[in-house]
Amino acid sequence: MPQSSAPSQPSTLVAGARAIVSASDTTEKVRLAYAISKSWFQRDLSLGTPSRDGRMPDRPGRPDKPDLRAPRDMPKRNLGGTSGRVALLHSLAHIELNAVDLTWDLVGRFAHVRLPRSYYDDWVRVGLEEAKHFSMLEDRMAKLDACYGDMPAHDGLWQAAQDTGHDLAARLAIIPLVLEARGLDITPPMIKKARDIGDEDTAKCLDVIYRDEKNHVAFGAKWFRFLCDRQGIRPESAFHEYVRRHFRGNLKPPFNDRARSEAGLTPGFYKPLARLSG
DSSP string, 20-68: HHH--SHHHHHHHHHHHHHHHHTT--B---HHHH-PPPSS----S-SPE
Backbone angles phi and psi of 47, in degrees to 5: -70, -50
Output the CA torsion 258→261→262→263 (10° steps): 130
Tell me if 138 is assigned to some domain. Answer: yes
Tell me if 5 is assigned to some domain. Answer: no
Tell me if 55 is assigned to some domain. Answer: no
pLDDT by residue, tens only, the chain of 278 residues: 444 445 678 999 999 999 999 999 999 999 999 999 999 999 999 999 988 988 999 999 999 998 887 766 666 666 667 888 999 999 999 999 999 999 999 999 999 999 999 999 999 999 999 999 999 999 999 999 999 999 988 877 787 778 899 999 999 999 999 999 999 999 999 999 999 999 999 999 999 999 999 999 999 999 999 999 999 999 999 999 999 999 987 899 999 999 999 999 999 999 999 865 44
CATH number of domain containing 134: 1.10.620
Bridge partners, 68 (sequence order) = 153
Short-list 187, 252, 181, CA closest to 221 = 181
Alpha carbons 120 and 180: distance in angstroms, whole number = 18
Tell me if 23 is assigned to some domain. Answer: yes
Tell me if 2 is assigned to some domain. Answer: no
Strand, helix or coil for residue 130: helix
Residue type, 20: I
pLDDT value at residue 98: 95
Alpha carbons 245 and 236: distance in angstroms, whole number = 14
Task: Tell me if 173 sits within 8 A of 182, measured CB to CB.
Answer: no
Alpha carbons 4 and 32: distance in angstroms, whole number = 18
Alpha carbons 181 and 186: distance in angstroms, whole number = 9
The DSSP H or E segment spanning 17 is helix 13-22
pLDDT value at residue 4: 46
Q: Which letter does DSSP use for residue 76 in this model? A: P
Q: Domain count of the chain?
A: 1
Alpha carbons 213 and 203: distance in angstroms, whole number = 15
pTM of the predicted model as reported, rounded to 2 decimal places: 0.92
Tell me if 4 is assigned to some domain. Answer: no
Strand, helix or coil for residue 255: coil
Tell me if 245 is assigned to some domain. Answer: yes
Task: Tell me if 64 sits within 8 A of 25, measured CB to CB.
Answer: no
pLDDT value at residue 77: 62
Task: Tell me if 1 sits within 8 A of 89, measured CB to CB.
Answer: no
Tell me if 122 is assigned to some domain. Answer: yes
Domain that holds residue 141: 13-49+75-276
Alpha carbons 260 and 214: distance in angstroms, whole number = 8
pLDDT value at residue 50: 87
Alpha carbons 20 and 127: distance in angstroms, whole number = 10
